[in-house]
Structures are given as structure tokens and as C-alpha cells.
Amino acid sequence: MILVLQILLCIIIAILNYAFLTKEKEKHTYMIYSPYSIALDSVLVFCTYIVLINTMIPISLIVSIEIVKMSQSYFIEKDQLMFSDFRKKYCNVRSASLNEELGQIEYVFTDKTGTLTMNLMEFKIAVIGSKMYGDLGLIIKDPKRPPQ
């Protein structure tokens, strides 16, 4: 629709340029005109305005994307599967770009028993790359430390 509107605007501008040059060119001798014929000049005006008005499409797409993000955040907040029985609350979207950030999850920490427990996890140890985080005593054998 936006492309059709853009082409229509350029056609109207080219027609108005043609009408102006055929009727008013002799009255306005102080203006510098194209050395081409009036028809060719109108085609050049059409092409010039296609280039000038082409920013309408990206700007309208940005507006459309923001409307989609807003509607997706509404549906995320109203999703029944996102309801927490423990907190008695629904998900709360505080950023319009939340749906884009959800696809960037790289690490998921789980205890493998989430279906049998309340899924409340306690961080013990993690190895990321070559660096170790957490209580290293869990893997280092210390005869003085009692087993857990």
C-alpha cells in the first residue's frame, strides 16, 4: 500500500510538472529549465521524486514494527502459561524489545528435576569456558569436609 501511494504521489507530481511547464514556462523566464523536452523532463521529475520519497517505506516499517512489539508484549502479559502459581502474578513486560531479547538466551541452568520439585534452584558450581564459578569444595576431595 505504501509503495502504491509513493508511486501515485510521484505520478501526480510528474503530471503537475508537465502542466506547469506547458502553461507557465513562457511567463517565468527567470527560471532555469531543463534542456530536455517537457515530456522527458516530467519523466525525470518522476524518477527524482521516487528517490526523494523512498524514505516513506522504511519509516512506516519502523512504526509497524513498534506496533507489533507493543501488541506482542500485551499477549505475553496475558498468556495463561506465563502465570506463576507461586507468586500469583502474570508475566510483566517492562521493555518493548522483550520479544527480541528472548531469542538471545545462551545458557539455561536447570536441576533436571523441575517436574518433580518446585523448581527453586540453588547455585552450586558452573564451568564457563575455562573458568570455574561457585563452591569448588563440592568437587575437590577434602577428607576433613563432611559429605553433603
90: its cell numbers:
502474570
Q: How far apart are CA 42 and CA 102, in angstroms?
A: 50
The residue from 41, 79, 85, 111 that is catalytic is 111
**Amino acid occupying residue 124:** K
Look up 142 and say whether it is catalytic. Answer: no
- Of 2, 45, 49, 54, give the one whose Cα is nearest residue 20: 45
> Which amino acids are annotated catalytic?
111
